[in-house]
Amino acid sequence: MASNTELFERAARVIPGGVNSPVRAFRAVGGTPRFIARGEGAYIWDAEGRRYIDYIGSWGPMILGHGHPAVLEAVTKAATEGFSFGAPTEREIELAEEILKLVPSIDQVRLVSSGTEATMSAIRLARGATGRPKFIKFEGCYHGHTDALLVKAGSGLATFGHPTSAGVTPGAAADTLVLEYNNVEQLEAAFAEVGHELACVIVEPIAGNMNFVRASVPFMTALRRLCSKHGALLVLDEVMTGFRVALGSAQSHYATLIPGFAPDISVFGKVIGGGMPLAAFGARRDVMQHLAPLGGVYQAGTLSGNPVATACGLATLREIQKPGFFEALSARTRQLVDGLKAVAADNGVPFSADSEGGMFGFFLLPELPQNYAKVMTTDKDRFNRFFHAMLDAGIYLAPALYEAGFVSAAHSQADIDATLAAARTALR
């Protein structure tokens, strides 16, 4: 049996950094990544046979836990029928119909293979539908690794962004305006200056890559009002929050708080694939008609809507619609969050936490941050010590200060109790 260290050394010889996605490398927290051998329910086992309570859940998709019987049955059946055809299948229609049933803001949806592909296509669609070049994103929100989205804030209010990745040219970032999350005043000023050039605003309703930071109601209200006023499209990136924070996704939560609220374009991923490579973007029919083969906005993908992924996603979506599912998931997640806050308070540790549905986040700060700059003030060294103490106790949290966590329907009362007991020791 190879150890995690041996596997990491072997991987580093053939894969850059030894990983196929940077956050897996443990560089933010130090130490050696755990190479996962299998998962079942709320647990994963590493290559050395060590079991962990899993609060990553493949970064959100595993809302039912690992290896749910109904999902396994659907995937196994689909695999025996064929992996990929490069031609339409009825199951693509079924999955699209299921998504539309749960998200009333969209009339049509296009299936793709990754969240990055979906956000990239949504922005291209917004530009094609409006005939405008520029768009707004917010610092701390992650929408995939497309060139125009790998941008940090400029030095001035309406200064367009600068590339944050080598290989991204200034020209690729020239039409991206980066603003501060939850800053209504800055948003108003930006629209006043360049509103006539804006194709869209893209935003995570709950940001999951600066840990867990939710958009305030005044901020989301202003977004909807300003986009409508200036003819820009509001793109809600629900790759992480979609069908994870509520059955109708985060937009259904905001619709209960803001009368008439709805985005113009919605982007989904993770849960709709149930752990398989699958994502989607959707909008009103008049917007979607700009997509090829109907319109001039080109988008294509050989594996888009492939039969095994759609079977996995469809089975997952059907399970989460069962009566009481989200009530139970939300209660379990809230129990974890409230328990962590209580344990931190008992230890005199500055701590704040929040959750919605099966998604949660915590900060080593006395109050919940509202933007990226505040998130960055978290005590990184203390977090790293906490992470490793929890990992040693068999609790698998995100190996970075800036990532949200996820609870599944498979997490039991005993799992929550074990997690809180480990946290009580770790926070000392």
What pLDDT was estimated at residue 160? Answer: 55
270 is catalytic: yes
What pLDDT was estimated at residue 290? Answer: 98
142 is catalytic: yes
- Cα–Cα dist 50/37, whole Å: 10
Q: Which one from 175, 237, 264, 415 is the annotated catalytic residue?
A: 237
What pLDDT was estimated at residue 170? Answer: 83
Q: Which one from 134, 137, 270, 374 is the annotated catalytic residue?
A: 270
Q: Which one from 43, 52, 55, 142 is the annotated catalytic residue?
A: 142
What global pTM score does this model have?
0.96
Domains 4-67+323-426 and 69-320 share a fold: no
Query: Which tokens is 389 given?
Result: 């103490």
What pLDDT was estimated at residue 158? Answer: 37
Residue 5, classified by CB atoms within 10 Å of its CB into exposed (0-12), middle (13-18) or buried (19+), is: middle
Query: Which tokens is 193 given?
Result: 């200056």
What are the per-10-residue average pLDDT scores of the chain (428 residues)?
A: 95 95 89 97 98 97 98 98 96 98 98 97 98 96 90 51 78 90 97 97 96 97 98 98 98 97 98 97 98 96 96 98 98 98 96 98 96 92 96 96 95 98 96
Domain ranges for the chain, please list them: 4-67+323-426, 69-320
User: What is the assigned CATH class of domain 69-320?
Assistant: alpha beta
Residues paired with 162 in a beta bridge: 152
Report the 10 Å Cβ neighbour count for 166. 6
- Cα–Cα dist 340/117, whole Å: 36
- Cα–Cα dist 278/311, whole Å: 11
Q: Quick one: 4-67+323-426 is in which CATH superfamily?
A: Aspartate Aminotransferase, domain 1 (3.90.1150.10)
